[in-house]
Chains A and B, each alone.
Chain A
Amino acid sequence: QVQLVQSGAEVKTPGASVKVSCRTSGYSFGKYYIHWVRQAPGQGLEWMGGGTASAQKFQGRVTMTSDTSTSTVYMELSSLRSEDTAVYYCARPMFSGNSREAFDIWGQGTLVTVSS
């Protein structure tokens, strides 16, 4: 079945970078763009980027890459600050192509803690 499996929790100091991985399986990797969504403690969902775009809030700080040989997608966030403490999710849309709709498959989430 379709699965997204994310890397483990991270603890970073302010100013550092974090790179979260999302290993995909069960479908044709190149047909779907993976998106990234984060959730700060007690807060709502916040879209970070996916497809060919990133949220304006994160432009210049977020880099999304992929490794087709391992069907893995990566999200790197730089210049971390305490407000970046959150659970980071990867998510796959229901529809193939550059879709921004119907995220029906989600990773389990990766907790990133930013603390000095």
Chain B
Amino acid sequence: SSELTQPPSVSVSPGQTARIICSGDALSKQFAYWYQQRPGQAPSLVIYKDTQRPSGIPERFSGSTSGTTVTLTISGVQPEDEADYYCQSPDNSGPYVLFGGGTKLTVL
């Protein structure tokens, strides 16, 4: 079945590097997208087409890809980066959209 898999949680101290992995077969042929969602807010796009940053997104956010896995890297994590992060891609098996289960980033 088509799905994207993320770890439920990642914890880092301020200033450290956080890496959130997303895996799924669809990612071998489709671009990945990453969203940040703070409590009580709508999601916000932070990475598109695997590695591109929308305007206004800090340079500490970056994306990479390898085979069926994509990674969101946040370098020099700030307290305001504490949020839920979701990966997303189009589904290869039909005209659908896939979301990962989400990863809660905790800044210790």
Q: Which residues of A contact B43 (CB under 8 A)?
A: 37, 45, 89, 91, 103, 106
Q: CA separation between A46 and B86, bound complex, in Å? A: 11
Q: Which residues of A contact B45 (CB under 8 A)?
A: 94, 102-104
Which chain A residue has the least Cβ–Cβ distance from B84?
A44
Which chain B residue has the least Cβ–Cβ distance from A46?
B99
Shortest beta-carbon distance from A49 to chain B in Å:
9
A1 lies within 8 A of chain B by Cβ: no
- Beyond A44-B84, A50-B97, list 11 extra A-B contacts (CB 8 Å): A52-B95, A53-B96, A55-B96, A89-B42, A102-B49, A103-B45, A103-B88, A104-B45, A106-B44, A107-B42, A109-B42
Interface residues of B (CB under 8 A from A): 31, 33, 35, 37, 42-45, 48-49, 54, 84, 86, 88-91, 94-102
